[in-house]
A and B are shown apart, each in its own frame.
Chain A
């Protein structure tokens, strides 16, 4: 659905169901250069099980208008505004990769609005390889090829998409190339590289949190994901074996099962 956030046209997938502000809300936040489409194997499930979902396109990404936000702090604040813009008071947040930094920042800035936090393929800092960062800022398609290489585990490189007929690497590549690379991926990579307050933010978090990590993640390595989880008070950790950074697609079923269990328990449709 399209709606206005700070006066700018914003798109979010509602998982194929009409948005209902009276249902518990789950907001999904994509990673660098991507869009709502990475969440299709999670959002539809919750949308048809009593939740309202918003898989947002960050400004300038996917089907949202405007320019990409330049810092993780701005993005986190913007997610808080999204929740308000759709008439809700609270939401559970689910972030992937850069989306983990963004959702942590959102909790930091709007703690009253966030019920639970799910971090997929996260780390407290995502420093960028300087060459990759330069390529992305120059709109060089090689940046996308490198990103797809790093983002998928060894198994993901062969394929085996959960949806018959789809080929992981090329789907991801097309999602990034949907817009000018420097305006989305370039800006996002720079924002990740500049963000230094992740550890400090993580240590202050005090809400139900779960980290879902890929054992063979090369973008945010397993040890960094574990370290982040250790920083967050009471965080659960789930490791998916034989999986890279794109667990939400590479191992969509396992990811959904873990997410389901967590959300249904911590943010139930009918709280007792």
Chain B
């Protein structure tokens, strides 16, 4: 059974320039213990999707519609109080910028304790012991000293480890990681990715990983969903998606990334460009969202939006022309 089922999620914002349809009719699911990556460029709605799952969208100006069923309950129907019991407990989140998501005036230990005392009803001493345990788990040296330190005393990588410790303190069933390594240097990123993989094996939480880095996706995701202009355009198991992307946007995205080692095999060619830019989401889009930038677009694409169709085993894409079955790219 799916742990999380999202159905026709629509998150719109009222802006002076009109209604911004940041997320417009997205459906997906996450199984227990599974890692789903949501990939796309700035403004595709991937972060708004994750914020909607946690109901962290300010309403107004935002408005969330559709259904978000977590373990059978629709999160959108819950009261604020019920939602608070879920946040940080059953579903927790790691953000991109560990400096701004930790409270600078509280010690690291207190911030981990807080979650445990609220959700698990631990007393201070028990929570403190558990906090030290969590810091050890995420690989922070000298955890007994570190619990008494403030965020500014830690490096970027350490702060992200603390964020992970807070997120995992209550053994969540679902962890949402929004660009967890984007702000980190590559050697630190390698440490954090390894940590996330190790912890996933041990804790068994499902992960929704939001990122624009296809390398990170290939490294830790099992299934990938590609978003463009607030819609889901393709979804497939990770190996399948990288091997035979069906949607022209996904193909463009994969072609635009140079691969390390390409100069050695003599495959260093010109990078594929996706001409043009993302459409303005405040204006109604008729037809396929990608038609304006797609080399294959015809009048059909400009008039009728393609639905998500099965193109292969567990592989769906929204394109009139994407080949079924056989490898397209």
Bind each other: no
Residues of B that sit less than 8 Å from A by CB:
none
Q: Which A residues are within 8 Å of any B CB, using their own CB?
A: none
